[in-house]
Amino acid sequence: MDYSNLRRQAASLKKGLFDQGHLDEQFRQVEDLQDEASPNFVEEVVVVFFKDSGRLITNLEQALEKYPRDFNRWDAYMQQLKGSCSSIGASRMKNECMSFRDSCGQRNVEGCMGSFQKLKREHAVLRQKLESYFQLLRQAGPAGAATRPVM
């Protein structure tokens, strides 16, 4: 298996995520925290992130239907989600959270719904790309190689 090619693909995938604004500098900080003591830290945090954010999105979706125009409730969910997004560097998702919250402040239901749809799409895209990224890294080499963040 051509490990260097796989690593190149992983690097390219990651670069694309940065260039297109899906990820920001915070993701690099998270990568920087990975070391010999916690060699799978980035992937572990990403897994937790998608689990938590998936749950929050589901809850919010239900709330949007069950509690119409309950902007305070909707905003509370989004505030939580924004926190997770900013901790991991999920930049586009974070921006949609902020748009949604702005719409809540303006009591603009359409704005909220629009942002929410974008948020869900971005969530799905980011999840799929990061899953591919980590899969490539796993294929690219033994555990030792995986601890070095792919530049």
Partner 1 sequence: MGAMGEDQRERMEDATVDKFPEGLRVLAVDDDCVCLNVLEALLRRYIYHPTMAMDAKTALKMLRTGKVKFDLVITDVRMPYMDGFKLLELTGLEMDMPVIMLSVDCDKKVVLKGINHGACDYLVKPVYTNDLKNIWQHDKSRRRSQAISHMGRDNAVDERVHPGTLAMSKDSKNKRNNEYHSNKNTESTHSSTTQKSQGWHGQLSFITSF
40 belongs to the binding site for partner 1 (CB under 8 A): no
Identify the sign of the CA torsion 98, 77, 82, 21: negative
Is 48:30 a contact under the CB 8 Å cutoff?
no
Question: Among residues 13, 22, 64, 84, which is the contact residue for partner 1, using CB under 8 A?
Answer: 84
Contact 6, 140 (CB under 8 A): yes
If one asks whether residue 93 binds partner 1 (CB under 8 A), the answer comes out as: no
80 near partner 1, rule: CB under 8 A? yes
Considering only 3, 16, 33, 132, the residue that binds partner 1 (CB under 8 A) is 33
The footprint of partner 1 on this chain (CB under 8 A) covers a number of residues equal to 31
From candidates 10, 13, 60, 88, binder to partner 1 by CB under 8 A: 88
Shortest distance, position 6 Cβ to partner 1, whole Å: 26
Give dist(CA 81, CA 85) in Å, integer. Answer: 6
Contact with partner 1 (CB under 8 A): which of 5, 12, 20, 29? 29
CA gap 24, 13 in Å, rounded: 14
φ, ψ dihedrals at 106, nearest 5°: -90, 5
Which of 6, 24, 126, 133 contacts partner 1 by CB under 8 A? Answer: 24
Residue located via tokens 């949604």? 100
Please tell me whether residue 86 binds partner 1 under the rule CB under 8 A.
yes
2: left (phi over 0), alpha (psi -120 to 50) or beta: beta
Which residues contact partner 1 by CB under 8 A? 21, 24-26, 29-30, 32-33, 35-38, 41, 44-45, 48-49, 52, 76, 79-80, 82-84, 86-89, 91, 94-95
